[in-house]
Amino acid sequence: MDMQTKPELDYGNWVRKKQLTFLGGITLALAVLAVSVSIPIARLVLLILALLSFITFLVPLYAYVMCSQSGGKFQQKVYDQILQHTGSDFAGKALDIGAGNGVLAVLLALRHPRAQVTGVDYWGEDWEYSRSVCEKNAQAAGVADRLDFQKGDAAKLVFGDGEFGLVVSNLTFHEVKSAADKRRVLQEALRLVSAGGNFAFIDYFFEEKYYGETDEFKVFLSSLGLKQATLLPLREVIQMPKLLLHPKVFGRVGLLYGER
């Protein structure tokens, strides 16, 4: 199967359903309370809170729809952007850090028929992904023989230095709870890239609480001894509606790619 005929894969969604359920439940509860109380000032306060909660609910709901395969397909668009920076005919060992439902790893294997791909993820209870879905996606795409999924902590991976000629990751580093400094997670990913190997990462690289002020982060990147590294805001490489540029969605997300 080639990249021109992509299989039907279970993408899941980067916006968690439990988050939407929680926010929607709060909004509904506040609205019900507002219409049930008889004290005018209390009703006004509850209505205001319900409105604010509804507005808060709308952003992740919109992001959920836009990321879904039946909506805006922005998960696929982001994956495609990563894949564009993995070359055209890679033959060797490739790694996807933060595999989720395994879609990026599967697409990587489809793009590079001679590659052996490993996907690693923690698959904690906070997330709506699983190793079993990864394996089903690999089977559906016909690449299960070249894909291996393993459980692991992105801050401390078991692989050797320079073990992979290609390493990718999507919106994972900032979620790693075992490392307060997300730059350390980035360094761990780069440790695994062989000399002359390529990498392509997407994360909240322009979010100061994760990576520091942008100029400082660029200095940090230059200190790593990479042969080549390019850092771009995601909005410069993918056209997207303004609401998706919210800081909590893609507004502070960046693409980092290059050669070790």
CATH number for the domain whose boundaries are 74-259:
3.40.50.150
Report d(CA 137, CA 96) in Å as an integer: 15
Residue 219 in contact with residue 188, Cβ under 8 Å? no
Report d(CA 247, CA 240) in Å as an integer: 13
Tell me the pLDDT of the chain (260 aa) as tens digits. Answer: 444 456 789 898 888 888 888 889 999 999 999 989 889 999 999 999 999 999 889 888 999 999 999 999 999 999 999 999 999 899 999 999 999 999 999 999 999 999 999 999 998 777 778 999 999 999 999 999 999 999 999 999 999 999 999 999 999 999 999 999 999 999 999 999 999 999 999 999 999 999 999 999 999 999 999 999 999 999 999 999 999 999 989 999 999 999 99
Q: What is the pLDDT of residue 6?
A: 65
Q: What does DSSP say about strands 193-203 and 228-233: parallel, antiparallel, or unpaired?
A: unpaired
Report d(CA 41, CA 49) in Å as an integer: 12
Q: Provide the whole-model pTM.
A: 0.89
**Distances, alpha carbon 12 to alpha carbons 68, 84, 123, 126, 136, in Å:** 8, 22, 13, 14, 13
Report d(CA 163, CA 106) in Å as an integer: 20
Sign of CA dihedral 160, 165, 171, 174: positive
Q: What is the pLDDT of residue 5?
A: 53
**223-227 own/partner pairs: CB under 8 Å, 24+ apart:** 224/187, 224/190, 226/190, 226/258, 226/259, 226/260, 227/196, 227/258, 227/259, 227/260
Q: What is the pLDDT of residue 1?
A: 47
Q: What does DSSP say about strands 116-121 and 228-233: parallel, antiparallel, or unpaired?
A: unpaired
CB neighbours of 204 closer than 8 A, spacing ≥ 6? 171, 174, 210, 211, 252, 253, 254
How many Cα atoms within 13 Å fall on the side-chain side of residue 202? 24
Residue 68, φ and ψ in degrees, nearest 5: -70, 155
Q: What is the pLDDT of residue 2?
A: 46
